[in-house]
Chains A and B, each alone.
Chain A
Amino acid sequence: MTKNKLLVINGPGLADLGNYDGNTYGDITLAKIKDKCCELCEQLGVILDFRQTNDEDEMFRAIAKDSDCYDALIINPVGYSRAASVEFELYRSAIKMIAHLHKPVIEVHITNIFKQGAEITKPLQVPEGEMGFICGLGVQSYLLAIKAVNKRLNDKQTSFHKQVRVYSSR
């Protein structure tokens, strides 16, 4: 059996969690998140590509052009998931493309973005996408996403893709 390959991509600003105001992120750093993700992927026998970029072009290149290199995408888009922003259209087209390839996508956030105020960060609303959504679990948001997506890739019987597509078409 070939190993599942995951791309975990972190958007602008996530390299500097320590610089954020207040205790929103506690003592979580991206390095700690990466360590935990690597540890879990090793246990699960999953190949992990963990990235962070402040450059949105690089982000879309990674999502769209490198899509041959991963089976599923886990994305923390940070505040760039604002539905009204120009960047959103770029996310949308990249995720639509992944949906077309039937690769699962899970959006993760460290904190509960709805508590901070949805006007700042909104979920990526891409109806064509096959996306899960996890927020508010700290490092565990990532670990749950990895476990869930790996289970999904291994389990061809439970048709998450079909389910969500049917839901979204109603």
Chain B
Amino acid sequence: MKTIMKVYVINGPNLNLLGTREPEIYGTETLKKIAERCQALGVNYGLDIEFKQSNYEGEIIEWIHDAINTVDAIVINAGAYTHTSVAIHDALRAFSGCKVELHISNPHLRESFRHISYVSPAVDAVVAGLGVAGYGHVIELLPYLLNCAENTEV
């Protein structure tokens, strides 16, 4: 029986710029800082969190493939690939663990080309528009979601 749950937090294109671009608007928190916070939270909740970012679709797909049978949960902020990538959709469908789609803003309030998500139908849950705090909120929920996944439907 596993005691430590393994989690990938996968971030897509442009999220590496978080905190460094227009900090007066987007806030000063960098992705590195968010990663540190998530990992610290993970320790409290018995989660081994690998926090990743890539600007390359193929690399994201390979991480999802790596996760099959080795990782318990994926939290994915696919950035703009959310709205374009059937390939990421397919990769996520191949991963049978717990999957949560995360966005800092709410894409449904933005331009119409962001209203379609190829990620949403391939995951268990969607959390959007809670700001960077969304990362911490989702991490805190994972132990509950992972237990539920073993016992009953959420």
Q: Does A23 contact B (CB under 8 A)?
A: yes
User: In the bound complex, do residue B137 and residue A147 qualify as a contact, i.e. CB atoms below 8 Å apart?
Assistant: yes
Contact with B along A136-170 (1 / 0, CB 8 A): 11101100100110011000001110111011101
Residues of A within 8 A of B129 (CB): 106, 131-133, 164
Knowing A26-B152, A127-B110, A133-B108, the reply to whether A114 touches B131 (Cβ < 8 A) is no
Residue with the greatest number of chain B CB neighbours at <10 A, chosen from A115, A151, A164, A167:
A167
User: In the bound complex, do residue A125 and residue B141 qualify as a contact, i.e. CB atoms below 8 Å apart?
Assistant: no
Q: Does A98 contact B (CB under 8 A)?
A: no
Chain B contacts with A in 68-120, Cβ cutoff 8 A: 104-106, 108-111, 115, 117, 120
User: In the bound complex, do residue B126 and residue A163 qualify as a contact, i.e. CB atoms below 8 Å apart?
Assistant: no
Knowing A114-B120, A125-B115, A133-B127, the reply to whether A163 touches B141 (Cβ < 8 A) is no
User: In the bound complex, do residue B131 and residue A140 qualify as a contact, i.e. CB atoms below 8 Å apart?
Assistant: no
Number of interface residues of B (CB under 8 A): 34
Residues of B within 8 A of A168 (CB): 105, 109-110
Residue of A nearest to B144 (CB): A140
Contact with A along B120-133 (1 / 0, CB 8 A): 11011111111111
Residues of A within 8 A of B111 (CB): 170
Residues of B within 8 A of A106 (CB): 129-130
Measured as residues with beta carbon below 8 angstroms from the partner, the interface class of chain A is: 35 or more
Chain A contacts with B in 88-117, Cβ cutoff 8 A: 106, 112, 114-115
Least CB distance from B11 to A in Å reads: 17
Least CB distance from B60 to A in Å reads: 19
User: In the bound complex, do residue A167 and residue B125 qualify as a contact, i.e. CB atoms below 8 Å apart?
Assistant: no
- Tell me the bound Cα distance from A132 to B115 in angstroms: 14
- Name the one of A129, A136, A160 contacting B154, with C-beta atoms under 8 angstroms: A136
Residue of B nearest to A129 (CB): B109
Residues of B within 8 A of A129 (CB): 109
Least CB distance from B38 to A in Å reads: 16
Q: Does B153 contact A (CB under 8 A)?
A: yes
Q: Does A126 contact B (CB under 8 A)?
A: yes
A binding-site residues for B, Cβ under 8 Å: 23, 26, 106, 112, 114-115, 118, 123-127, 129, 131-138, 140-141, 144, 147-148, 151-152, 158-160, 162-164, 166-168, 170
Can you add 10 more A-B contacts, CB < 8 Å, to A115-B121, A131-B129? Answer: A112-B124, A123-B106, A126-B109, A132-B127, A133-B106, A135-B125, A148-B133, A158-B132, A164-B131, A166-B26
B binding-site residues for A, Cβ under 8 Å: 25-27, 104-106, 108-111, 115, 117, 120-121, 123-134, 137, 141, 144-145, 148, 152-154
